[in-house]
Amino acid sequence: MKLLDLSSLYKYTPELLEYYHILSPEIPEFILEYSNTQEMLKQQYISVSCGTIYSKLYDLGRFSSLEHSIWVALIIRNFTKDKKQSLAWLFHDIATPVFKHSIDYMHWDYHNQESTEDLTTEILKNSKEINNLLERDNIKINEINDYKIYTIADNKTPQLSADRLEYTLSNNLFVYKNPSPIEEIKKIYNNIIILENEKWEKELWFNNTKQAEKFTKIMSELSILYMIDKTRFSMQFLADLLKTMYENNEIKIEDLYSLKESEIIEKIKTSKTWNVSKCYNIRENAKNITILNEEPKNTYFVHHWTKIRYIDPLVKEENKRISNISSTSKENINKCLNFNMDNYMTLNFKIFKE
């Protein structure tokens, strides 16, 4: 696999280079060393948009699961200076399959979207490269194989964690093309501090209300995009299509972990399974989906809720969460919580042979 070269990433856009340096003035050598292991490098070929990028339903920018993992590791390193916490998060997606959370849909895990995390320890144990580095650094696998033991990295919704902070900032800048100016992102990030929350756990806070309001507005707009009809349709369709190919012995579960997204898509396009390649082509080129209030007949459709992603950050200035300080932020959060996911969605094709 191609080694990670941050200098090549910088060529994509000046904003990308600036974003790295906002998160951390320096990129520690150990993060690059662990990122350049075979098990981590495969994440270069997994897009963060869960397969939605491969469709004209969207006009999305792109970055990889590897970049996201590095960025969160940099955030944790910047705030904690702790190598173990940084590595725990660097490895948090090491067991991620192609198309990310679309595979959770394949396992009917719409709400938690954590069905693919169980392989993390196994992958770490079986990696000679990673184990050599861990031995050099005197770090045990059980200190870095579960990021959830570190509350800065991960905590319960609606708290602010390094993960939620990072994907909110980077999705806003690079994926959904409705970006805030990079200087605004810098102000938001530089306003973050670590304090203990109501449960006496360490959490990321904002120093003042103004930056917390800006962040909450960005977060709520993105949260809606994660839940809209075409997103749920696109992810479930891809999950059902892959499940159909699996049932017809055209792909194996391990392919989802070992192949690139481009290689899986090629398998889809050359599939001999009834209607699979045709249905994928329709979805790939469709610019709109059909939304219905009632269940359609004799056609493939999607009808389910999904995970509600929202954040209600703490603010030191008032020692409260932003929803208890700002009526605007509370309204934005409620838009996420009350988002309607009752629709039936279809592109008027049959994916399964009758």
DSSP track, 168-200: HHHIIIIISS-PPPHHHHHHHHHTEEEEE-TTS
What distance in Å separates the CA atoms of residue 302 and residue 344, rounded to the nearest whole number?
6
User: Tens-digit pLDDT profile for the chain (354 aa)?
Assistant: 444 555 444 445 677 778 888 999 888 999 999 999 999 999 989 988 888 888 888 887 778 899 999 999 999 999 999 999 999 999 999 998 998 878 876 664 444 445 445 689 999 999 999 999 999 999 999 999 988 889 898 899 999 999 999 999 999 988 876 667 889 999 999 999 999 999 999 999 999 999 999 999 999 999 999 999 999 998 888 888 888 888 899 999 899 989 999 999 999 899 888 788 888 887 788 888 999 999 998 888 999 888 899 999 999 999 999 999 999 999 999 999 999 999 999 987 666 554
The end-to-end CA distance of the chain, in Å, is 42
Strand partners, 301: 346
Structure tokens at 34: 């662990």
Q: What is the dihedral of CA 29, 1, 170, 75, to 10 degrees?
A: -20
> What pLDDT shows up at residue 320?
97
- The pTM of the full predicted model, rounded to 2 decimals, is 0.89
SS3 letters across 85-141: HHHHHHCCCCCCCCCCHHHHHHCCCCCCCCCCHHHHHHHHHHCHHHHHHHHHCCCCH
Q: In one letter, which amino acid is 323?
A: S
